Structure 1
Amino acid sequence: MNKVIKLQDLGTKDFKETWDYQEQLFKGVLETKIKNRREDAGLETDNYFLFVEHPHVYTLGKSGDLSNLLLSKEQLTQKGATFYKINRGGDITYHGPGQIVGYPILDLDNFFTDIHKYLRFLEEVIILTLEEYGLKTERSSGETGVWLDVGTPFARKICALGVRASRWVTMHGFALNVNADLGYFDHIIPCGIRGKAVTSLNIELGVKKVNEAEVKEKLLKHFKVLFEADFV
């Protein structure tokens, strides 16, 4: 089993370009797995982890409801935002500047073949990272992602999750609000959940800007431990 993960920080990159790149890596891993099964080739499958920050974009998952986007095409243009229907689970979400997006493209045969466990581990990476900033975050029953003050009128989401998997190969991942402009969430019903707020790490800490490079380091540290992996 190959537990080495190739880390790439793509900086700021268009969502569609990044999606196409994910698909390219995803298909490469699948092709290796198929060759191994057909030819007993015994080839190692690669694992990848992409960090990226997207320009303003709204994405709608396979099971999502388009009515959860509250903007017309003209209004999207006015906001400088784009919109895509994509092939992950979940409903609608927003990506933009000040948000750390992580896309693990893993062959779970190298780690564990359990999608439920995989999602919980992604959430745990976020929970442990935010704990280092003095925040108590948690899961909300029946709702993926990471939240604060669950079960109270002040419940708010700080990290969204949405993944796709085929033959135990994953793509898409998490979006953690670090220095995000939360005004863009006003134009959607985030994840299709009415009456729940969103938040960002800088707001929770009461600071103007959080060091995003430092947050990434902490995310990778916890990911490495939980997945018993190495980054290169």
Structure 2
Amino acid sequence: MIKAVIVEDEAHARLTLKSKLEAFCPEIQLLGMADTPGEGQKLIQELKPELVFLDIAMPGESGFDLLRRLDNLNFEIIFVTGFDNFAIDAINFCAIGYILKPIQNSLLIKAVHNATERIRERRDNDRNKALIRNLEQPGSSSNRIGIPTEEGLEFVPTSDIIRCEGQNRLTILFLSGGQTLVSSYNIGEFVRLLEPYGFFQVHRSHLINHNRILRYNRDGQVTMEDQSQVPVSKRRKGDFLQRLTRL
């Protein structure tokens, strides 16, 4: 699935594009829609989409004004507009697609297909870079691991992972900053992946990052940096306390 947002000031145009994406582009997961460049900027910064459908001519500011304000343009862009005189500017911004209103289904499908290919190539490149970096620095906290989620493969620095919790054959990862990820990997797979990076399985369903521990409590629980309380099983308590003394 390709994560996408729409930035378009006309309500009818937003809903039309949304319905066409649902009908003809099932690989697109629409995360949200915005009706002004300002709201679009917030949406992009918060949701970090891989693809942005962007109207150019909007009241007050243009889609280009929005792009100029963003620090990173690490997403594909499909411009959607009723004015073809913007084509040269769109090309200068290296847009993957340029669709005129009213939107023709065939042109939308083609533009989305091209954007999807570019996004998948980038994912492959990111995966290869992560592999090389991890091989060069085994066990380094700056290494990233690929985490399979419903949206795709998320690359996360191991140092950002506070803890992992297994639930019904899935694993919830709790990251710094309050973010969470749900992965199709079970907790055992993360034990295998993360133990070389200073993680310890304190309980059948819990894996914690040693560097993110605040305290070990007398009641047999560990308080983590996110203030979560993680139980330590009796069977693993001795090994865990020995590790704590070596930190």
Which range, TM-score by smaller chain? under 0.3
Higher-Rg structure is: 2
Higher helix proportion (structure 1 or 2): 2
Select the structure with the greater relative contact order (CA < 8 A; seq sep ≥ 6).
Answer: 1
Q: TM-score, normalised by structure 2?
A: 0.23
